[in-house]
């Protein structure tokens, strides 16, 4: 199987040794659709008012991921990371959930809330990482390793989750792997950077699927350390939400960037950090959507992207117009077959029970 690191050890991962092999070609194009044009302030105000009216009429709730464009975040009922939004989806009393994020996230909301209508405003909102592994590939991998435990990043389709023992996010992956009996072999996917990071933190070898998010292709350790050198008063913040920042976590674990000025933080943690820190500047290693809540929380500070162009075009397919149309025309429905949802719920709930 060419897309798996078979020789990984905690001391020297496949990424470091150069044994890393690329994943099979993605099912969706790796290059996301071109970024849509932003509406002007007047159109934003009109569309936002229309959306709020439709939300009330249709008994709907709008959940928006932190990587959405600012105007979509501003009109949403809740903004947050993928797991937080799924938990929010499960607890809402609204009939309709309009999920402004990528498809696997909306699927997770549907898996946790099977009786609710879940809509996604744009069907092109895929994910290069989630599409880096299929359910059949997981079945084949398990057949080759029948005694292994399957641990998958939450950035996977419901079909893949149905083949999985434990789901993880970037922030709880270490805790979940540590909770698995030590004698058990682990198949970890689909993010090779997160896999390598977890191996280092747990000192436990795993078989790691060689998938990655196209956004973090632009985030390199020399760039991050160079940014710290160029901005001696700045803190570096890494947001462990998505595949676009797991490479930076891996570089930190390898000692490639200064640990004293580097913080791995959730969105809430970042907002608290910028309020409490004396640093005038913050270098931020993640998708650029996170700058919107940070600038709102601390308008007097300067936020610098660790790399220009860390933009998830899949997330940006969702626009205010698309959101308005989804509410008005009741589209596009996210469906997960009940037998898949039942099996996919198990690894998600195990993860939630381990990390609280
Ligand atoms: S940033 Fe990467 S991992 Fe996150 S949704 Fe976009 S393509 Fe997927």
**Domain shared by 191 and 226, yes or no:** no
pLDDT at 29: 43
Kindly state whether residue 198 falls inside one of the protein's structural domains. yes
pLDDT at 311: 87
**Domain shared by 9 and 49, yes or no:** no
Q: Mutate which of 27, 83, 152, 155 to test ligand 1's pocket (most atoms within 8 Å of Cβ)?
A: 155
Kindly state whether residue 49 falls inside one of the protein's structural domains. yes
**Domain shared by 160 and 15, yes or no:** yes
Question: What are the tens digits of pLDDT across the range 297-307?
Answer: 899 999 998 87
Kindly state whether residue 349 falls inside one of the protein's structural domains. no
**Domain shared by 133 and 122, yes or no:** no
**Domain shared by 116 and 134, yes or no:** no
- C-beta 194 within 6 A of ligand 1: no
**Domain shared by 145 and 270, yes or no:** no
Kindly state whether residue 272 falls inside one of the protein's structural domains. yes
Q: Which long-range contacts (C-beta less than 8 Å, at least 24 apart) are formed by 176-181?
A: 176/151, 176/350, 176/351, 176/354, 176/355, 177/151, 177/202, 177/204, 177/206, 178/202, 179/354, 180/149, 180/151
Q: How far apart are CA 323 and CA 321, in angstroms?
A: 5
Kindly state whether residue 350 falls inside one of the protein's structural domains. no
Minimal-distance CA residue to ligand 1 atom 5: 127
Give the mean pLDDT of the chain.
Answer: 86
Tokens representing residue 108 in the block: 């997770």
Question: What are the tens digits of pLDDT across the range 144-200?
Answer: 999 999 999 999 999 999 999 999 988 789 999 999 999 999 999 998 888 988 998
- Distance of alpha carbon 90 from the chain centroid: 19
Q: How many CB atoms lie within 10 A of CB 299?
A: 7
Kindly state whether residue 35 falls inside one of the protein's structural domains. no
Tokens representing residue 264 in the block: 């791995």
Kindly state whether residue 151 falls inside one of the protein's structural domains. yes
Instruction: Using alpha carbons, list the distances in angstroms from residue 167 to 33, 55, 75, 163, 233.
Output: 28, 32, 30, 10, 37
Based on the structure, what is the number of domains in the chain?
Answer: 3
**Domain shared by 324 and 283, yes or no:** no
Q: Mutate which of 81, 156, 213 to test ligand 1's pocket (most atoms within 8 Å of Cβ)?
A: 213
Question: What are the tens digits of pLDDT across the range 256-290?
Answer: 888 888 888 877 778 889 988 899 999 988 888 88
CATH of the domain at 185: 3.40.50.10800
Report the sign of the C-alpha dihedral through residues 290, 295, 297, 301, in that order.
positive
Kindly state whether residue 346 falls inside one of the protein's structural domains. no
**Interval 37-42 mean pLDDT:** 89
pTM, 2 dp: 0.85
Q: Are strands 186-189 and 149-153 parallel, antiparallel or unpaired?
A: parallel
Interval between CA 181 and ligand 1 midpoint (Å): 30
C-alpha triplet 109, 343, 334: angle, nearest 5°: 35
**Domain shared by 144 and 122, yes or no:** no
Q: How far apart are CA 130 and CA 215, in angstroms?
A: 13
* Residue 218 predicted with pLDDT over 70: no
**Domain shared by 225 and 291, yes or no:** yes
- Distance of alpha carbon 74 from the chain centroid: 20
**Domain shared by 296 and 322, yes or no:** no
Q: What range defines the domain where residue 253 resides? A: 216-305
Interval between CA 242 and ligand 1 midpoint (Å): 6
CA-213 nearest atom, ligand 1:
2
């Amino acid at each position: 199987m060419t897309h798996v690191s078979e020789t990984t050890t905690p001391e020297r991962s496949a990424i470091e040794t150069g044994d890393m092999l690329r994943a099979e070609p993605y099912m969706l194009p790796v290059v996301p659709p071109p970024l849509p044009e932003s509406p002007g302030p007047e159109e934003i105000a009109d569309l936002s008012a229309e959306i709020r009216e439709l939300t009330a009429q249709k008994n709907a709730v709008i959940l928006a991921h932190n990587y959405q464009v600012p105007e979509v975040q501003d009109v949403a009922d809740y903004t947050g990371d993928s797991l937080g939004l799924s938990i929010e989806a499960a607890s809402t009393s609204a009939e309709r959930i309009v999920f402004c994020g990528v498809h696997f996230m909306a699927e997770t909301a549907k898996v946790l809330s099977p009786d609710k209508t879940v809509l996604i405003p744009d069907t092109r909102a895929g994910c290069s990482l989630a599409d880096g592994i299929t359910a059949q590939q997981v079945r084949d991998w398990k057949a080759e390793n029948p005694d292994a435990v399957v641990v998958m990043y939450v950035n996977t389709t419901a079909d893949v989750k149905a083949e999985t023992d434990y789901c993880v996010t970037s922030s709880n992956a270490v805790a979940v792997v540590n909770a698995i009996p030590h004698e058990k072999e682990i198949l970890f996917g689909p993010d090779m950077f997160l896999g390598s990071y977890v191996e280092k933190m747990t000192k436990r070898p795993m078989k790691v699927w060689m998938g990655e998010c196209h956004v973090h292709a632009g985030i390199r350790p020399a760039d991050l350390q160079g940014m710290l050198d160029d901005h001696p008063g700045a803190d570096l913040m890494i947001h462990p939400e998505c595949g676009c920042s797991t490479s930076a976590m891996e570089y930190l674990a390898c000692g490639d960037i200064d640990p004293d000025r580097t913080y791995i933080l959730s969105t809430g943690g970042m907002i608290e950090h910028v309020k409490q820190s004396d640093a005038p500047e913050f270098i931020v290693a993640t998708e650029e959507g996170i700058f919107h809540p940070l600038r709102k929380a601390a308008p007097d500070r300067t936020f610098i992207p660790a790399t220009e162009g860390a933009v998830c075009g899949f997330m940006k397919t969702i626009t205010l117009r698309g959101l308005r149309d989804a509410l008005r025309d009741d589209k596009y429905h996210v469906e997960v077959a009940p037998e898949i949802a039942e099996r996919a719920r198990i690894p998600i709930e195990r993860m939630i029970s381990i990390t609280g």
